[in-house]
Structure 1
Amino acid sequence: MAASAWSERVQELLKRMNNFHEHGSSRDQCLPFLVAGQRVGSVPALVAQRLQGYPAVFTVCPEPRRVKLHPQLASHEQRTAAMGQVLTELRDLGAFPCLCEWRDEHYEVMPRFCDPPLFSMERVATALLGVRCYGTHLNGYTWHGGCPCMWLGRRAPTKPTYPGRLDNLAAGGSAAGLGVMETLVKECQEEACIPPTLAAQARPVGTIRSASPCGQEGETYLQGAEPSSIGAAGGNQAGSNWAPLPHQLTPPTDLELPEDFEPHVGDGEMQEFYLWGLDEVKNAIASGDFKPNCALVALDFLIWHSHIQPHHEPNYAELVEGLHRTL
């Protein structure tokens, strides 16, 4: 692929993965979500309309436009229980199709990763409240014939999201009670049969941030919901029927694997693994074959390890900035 075409496609990917903050996105149709005076998410107007039906849990304010968790819910346990009751009822009512993918897996909700969690909630519902989610992705690399190579996985065809797409060697969201490295070791063992002692040698190498309204997936998240008029004259304005994806903060980790190590399919999340040279990985990032957020992790690896350099890539600064936007 020509260098200019590659650069253009990757910039388009970066913009798409962070376009929640762009002009004309659904951002203006979302209401800040506050818990104990701290902002933890962005609620689409259509979701806020449904939450008005639960005044003991949510306060939806038209001016200034915002959604608050009821102040009487003062503890982690109280908030978690109340949130669970609302989400379970919305699931049983078929209010939002995303809730049909219920996983019985909780994510912690906090303003920043280092903050104490304010409550936890069902994973698939995080998109409805636009809360920030955390996870970890592994760039597994080795040397083959004196050249650096990366191990990549291909997602199983049964995966509910991005089936059959390229993925990092191992990855997963941080469930409630698990830290970054605990999550990484767990996912490495489950997905790629990487022994815990080897996975524990991985090292975090920064963070990647993304926040994007759902496109086609957003229509699935909110299909069948009624237009909202909260804080918006005219009701169903452009973008008001889209939900933001969870704001994602991903700390990539790098792990140099022994040259004779080979990952194996574990729990069925992946269907196979490939050992590719870095040029192959670079081309795949722009091909559309990657799960989008995993493409960003691979791109960060290529920059971090100087396979993409400023004197060869004229848009180097834009690529770096696109990976590390403040959310």
Structure 2
Amino acid sequence: MANAVWSDKVLQLLHRMNNFYLPGSCRANCLRFEVDGIKVGWIVPHVASLLASYGDVFRPPLGGALSLCSSLDAYDKRSQAVDAVLSNLRRDPSLRCLKGWRNERFNVMDKFSDPPVMWMERAATSLFGVKRYGVHINGYIVSNSGEVFMWLARRSPTKQTYPGLLDNMAAGGLAAGVSIKHTLVKECQEEACIPEALAEKAHPVSTVSYTYEDGEGVFSESQFIFDLELPPAFKPRVGDGEVQEFYLLPIEKVKELLATEDFKPNCAMVVLDFLIRHSFIEPDREPFYQEFVSGLHQAL
């Protein structure tokens, strides 16, 4: 039987990362963010009030939804109009997330398979509760005796978010107009100095999706997950400064760490998915097995 304390802590992590779905969340009070009649996000009331004051960009809230003006009828028009509003709102101290402005554009759409309706500054996406996508790579080795070890990264202490916490070997947000494979190779090269030819051997294996609320808005995210088995002699190296150190740890040690506060939460979910897929967590031994699986794949 699994360790009950470990199981409880992992279940708490999944509840925290999916708290938007739980009773008492802000969801009941949120306005839908609609573009051309399609819901693409959720906006908390105080943010909706700020946005509604820009009447040349946003229609007055109607029927539980905040929409763009009908004159904004194309991708570029919508993107530029909303970006101008957000640039102005950067001066509002109540919108803490905008202090982390990155000049990174994320596409906005209902589903990943849909054509994007606009782009939005990455730091602002939580204000609109729009889906954000990323790419995460599990780097691991298998010893001659068959033991699995995983490479983990320690985030730089200067990172804007979750400084100093454990992370997957490489990961990054999916910018507008950039492919998943290109993002995979780029992040592997920039963060871990993994050559392109080796990075391209990574296999797409899963997605991990979740939605949570905090003081900065609604975070609806979906990560494309890749596994990359590395040669035992290969060692990732710190590249662009987003990582301060890499560790090669036995998989049981990695599993233990998931129940601590040392992991960036969504990266812990990515590792949990790895452990389930590779049968390091089994339904006969883990009573919350189904809850773990469903908690990794929540999608609005």
Is this a same-fold pair by TM over 0.5?
yes
1:299 matched residue in structure 2: 272
**Secondary structure in 2 matching 1:120:** strand
2:108 matched residue in structure 1: 109
Question: Does 2:5 correspond to 1:5?
Answer: yes
2:65 matched residue in structure 1: 66
Q: Is the 8 A contact 1:140 1:150 kept in 2?
A: yes
Determine the C-alpha separation between the residues in 2 that align with 1:287 and 1:194. 28
**Secondary structure in 1 matching 2:59:** strand
- Superposition pairs of residues 155-166 of structure 1, within 5 angstroms: 155-166=155-166
2:90 matched residue in structure 1: 91
Q: 1:128 to 1:27 in 2, by over 3 A?
A: same
- Superposition pairs of residues 206-225 of structure 1, within 5 angstroms: 206-214=206-214, 218=215, 221=216
- The runs of at least 4 aligned residues of structure 1 exceeding 6 Å deviation read none
CA shift for structure 1 position 144: 2.6
Determine the C-alpha separation between the residues in 1 that align with 2:15 and 2:93. 32
Structure 1 residues 151-198: Cα deviation after superposition (integer angstroms, max 9, x where no partner): 000001111111110000000000111121111111110000011111
Question: Does 2:247 correspond to 1:248?
Answer: no
Structure 1: gaps spanning 5 or more residues:
222-242
Counterpart AA for 2:293: V
Determine the C-alpha separation between the residues in 2 that align with 1:189 and 1:97. 31
Determine the C-alpha separation between the residues in 2 that align with 1:52 and 1:325. 30
Determine the C-alpha separation between the residues in 2 that align with 1:200 and 1:95. 42
Counterpart AA for 1:138: I
Question: Does 2:280 correspond to 1:313?
Answer: no
CA shift for structure 1 position 326: 2.8
- Superposition pairs of residues 33-72 of structure 1, within 5 angstroms: 33-62=33-62, 64-72=63-71
Question: Does 2:23 correspond to 1:23?
Answer: yes
Q: Is the 8 A contact 1:42 1:131 kept in 2?
A: yes
TM-score w.r.t. the length of structure 2 is 0.97
Determine the C-alpha separation between the residues in 1 that align with 2:142 and 2:50. 54
Structure 1 residues 84-113: Cα deviation after superposition (integer angstroms, max 9, x where no partner): 111111114545122121111110101111
Q: Is the 8 A contact 2:211 2:298 kept in 1?
A: no
Q: Is the 8 A contact 2:189 2:196 kept in 1?
A: yes
- Superposition pairs of residues 136-285 of structure 1, within 5 angstroms: 136-146=135-145, 147-214=147-214, 218=215, 221=216, 243-244=217-218, 246-285=219-258
2:259 matched residue in structure 1: 286
Q: Is the 8 A contact 2:13 2:265 kept in 1?
A: yes
Determine the C-alpha separation between the residues in 2 that align with 1:163 and 1:94. 22
1:229 matched residue in structure 2: none
Q: Is the 8 A contact 1:51 1:60 kept in 2?
A: no
Determine the C-alpha separation between the residues in 2 that align with 1:124 and 1:60. 24
CA shift for structure 1 position 305: 0.6
Percent identity over paired residues: 50
CA RMSD of aligned residues (A): 1.2
**Secondary structure in 1 matching 2:103:** coil
TM-score w.r.t. the length of structure 1 is 0.89
Tell which deviates more after alignment, 286-295 or 144-153. 144-153
Counterpart AA for 1:32: R
CA shift for structure 1 position 318: 1.1
1:227 matched residue in structure 2: none
Q: Is the 8 A contact 1:192 1:263 kept in 2?
A: yes
**Secondary structure in 2 matching 1:124:** helix
Q: Is the 8 A contact 2:211 2:299 kept in 1?
A: no
Structure 2: gaps spanning 5 or more residues:
none
**Secondary structure in 1 matching 2:61:** strand
2:122 matched residue in structure 1: 123
CA shift for structure 1 position 145: 4.5
Tell which deviates more after alignment, 93-102 or 25-34. 93-102
CA shift for structure 1 position 60: 3.0
2:75 matched residue in structure 1: 76
Structure 1 residues 44-90: Cα deviation after superposition (integer angstroms, max 9, x where no partner): 1000000111111111324x111001121111110111011111111
Counterpart AA for 1:179: S
Q: Is the 8 A contact 1:149 1:276 kept in 2?
A: yes
Determine the C-alpha separation between the residues in 1 that align with 2:223 and 2:286. 24
